[in-house]
Amino acid sequence: MVHLLGPYLMLWMSKMGLDFAQIGLTQACCMAAALLLDFPTGGLADKYGRRLSFGVGMLFFGLGYGTIALAHTPILFTLGFVLAGCGSATGIVEGVAGPVCGVLASAVSLAALNLPIGLSGAAGLCASFVAIVLLKEDYGGRRDRSYRRVLRDGLFGVLANGPLLYLILSGFFMSFVMPAFMLYWVIILRDHGLPEAGSRLFTPLGRRPC
């Protein structure tokens, strides 16, 4: 799901007429949705089940990128990224299929630039189905507590743990670095003559959407 996107997400948005400012703003909406929902969805997972939380998250992720694959206006792109951001808040499991997805995405992009994005959305929907139908539920041992208490205990736990707080702060600063690089590097390579279908070969490992 993650690796299928490759560089084609930005190329697709550019092809549909979005300028660099609009691309950045839609991505910001995705990250804002993930930021606002990240802590509350963790509490929901502890209270109502991690399987359900993950499954619903992947459902939103799949619907979001399915919307982006069909989008042709800034509003639809923004809607898709907000949905994907809601799904990203539940956490994404990294796969080991990066090289295979790179070859697949490069091949299908020759037929249509938005096809890798649509396949990514479909993979998200499959992940949601598998999680909800096949996985055993895990409540994290906190189902007996109220949702408000789960959130309160979690917040106090973070504030009382110095190393964890520093890791979160470090991640906050890293969030400024990665999107600025990931948004535009492939467009620069394309403008210097790199074929779009071959650009996936230069995608850094571990790249995440939004």
Q: Mind giving me the DSSP string for 14-44?
A: HHTT--HHHHHHHHHHHHHHHHHHHHHHHHH
- Note the pLDDT of residue 27: 80
Q: List the chain domain ranges.
A: 2-202
- Note the pLDDT of residue 75: 93
Model's pTM, two decimal places?
A: 0.65
pLDDT band at 92 (very low <50, low <70, confident <90, very high): very low
pLDDT exceeds cutoff 80 at 103:
no
pLDDT band at 95 (very low <50, low <70, confident <90, very high): very low
Helix (H, G, I), strand (E, B) or coil at 210: coil
From CA 122, how far away is CA 59, in angstroms rounded? 9
Q: Which residues are CB-neighbours of 123 under 8 A, at least 6 positions away?
A: 1, 4, 62
The proportion of the chain whose per-residue pLDDT surpasses 90, expressed as a percent, equals 9
Tokens, residue 15: 């092809």
- Note the pLDDT of residue 69: 92
Question: Which CATH number does 2-202 carry?
Answer: 1.20.1250.20
- Note the pLDDT of residue 13: 87
Contacts 24+ apart (CB under 8 A), 200-206: 200/6, 200/7, 200/8, 200/102, 200/103, 200/105, 200/106, 200/109, 201/102, 201/106, 202/7, 203/6, 203/7, 203/102, 205/98, 206/94
Radius of gyration of the chain (CA): 18
From CA 105, how far away is CA 107, in angstroms rounded? 5
pLDDT exceeds cutoff 90 at 57:
no
From CA 151, how far away is CA 44, in angstroms rounded? 9
Mean pLDDT, rounded, for 92-106? 63
pLDDT exceeds cutoff 90 at 111:
no
- Note the pLDDT of residue 160: 83
